[in-house]
Chains A and B, each alone.
Chain A
Amino acid sequence: MVYLCGEKYLGQVATQYAQMDPDAIVVLIKDGVYLDTTPLKGKKIFAIDEDVKRRGMGERIKAKAEIIGYDALVDLVVNNKVANFT
């Protein structure tokens, strides 16, 4: 499943499910880019380019998430079930 994390509080809830999911794909969108991803080590993590850049988070996030645009997000959403935590 794609865990769409749109804020810190809900992102923390999503993290607990994603940890149980061997196929978890985590997407950080909006304030989700502030999420502490330490508990998600080993999971595939993406972050939305524009949301990262606007928040000046590029340097902080580049080691833990792959930066993608909306185009790639659409592909993820149509190819996987979405778990909404926005």
Chain B
Amino acid sequence: MGQKKVLINISDGPFGNIFYTEGLRAAVGVSAGMDENIPTVLFQADGVYYCLKDVDRTDSMAYFESMKGLGTKLYAVEEDLAARGIASDELAPDITRIPRQKAFELFKENDHNIDF
């Protein structure tokens, strides 16, 4: 047993499948065990579309609120945003842009990673 750092990767955009929101439910959920694991969320590839400020977050709002309470960091890969022509001013304010090199560091730093 022991507290683990868990990286949640979301690689599909909303809303064609349910992974965008179930990934966030899992991010909150993995912190809910005995050891209060520490989740971090990484949006990559088409997953970055969920970072647009105008996206409808209704069905994930509770998870965003919980993650805010937990201090969970939400990152989007800069190169994947750029490849899709998404500018900084189109992003929701709670999303932090990071270069892929930093995202790679997240894979290394976290004990486990889960892809959605």
Known contacts A9-B45, A13-B11, A17-B107, A84 near B113 by CB under 8 Å: yes
Q: How many Å from the CB of B83 to the closest CB on chain A?
A: 11
Is A34 at the interface (CB under 8 A from chain B)?
no
Interface string of B85-116 (1 = CB under 8 A from A): 00000000000000011011001100101110
Chain B residues with CB under 8 Å of chain A are 9, 11, 44-45, 79, 100-101, 103-104, 107-108, 111, 113-115
In this assembly, does A68 line the interface, its C-beta being within 8 Å of a C-beta of chain B?
no
Can you pick out 28 interface pairs between chain A and chain B where the beta carbons lie within 8 Å of each other? Answer: A1-B108, A9-B11, A9-B45, A10-B11, A10-B45, A10-B115, A12-B45, A13-B11, A13-B44, A13-B45, A16-B100, A17-B100, A17-B103, A17-B104, A17-B107, A20-B100, A20-B101, A20-B104, A21-B104, A81-B107, A81-B108, A81-B111, A83-B107, A83-B113, A84-B9, A84-B113, A84-B114, A84-B115
Please give the residue numbers on chain A whose beta carbons come within 8 Å of chain B beta carbons, in ascending order: 1, 9-10, 12-13, 16-17, 20-21, 81-86
List B contacts of A21 (CB < 8 A): 104
Note all chain B residues with C-beta closer than 8 A to A12. 45
Please give the distance in Å from B45's CB to the nearest CB on chain A. Answer: 5
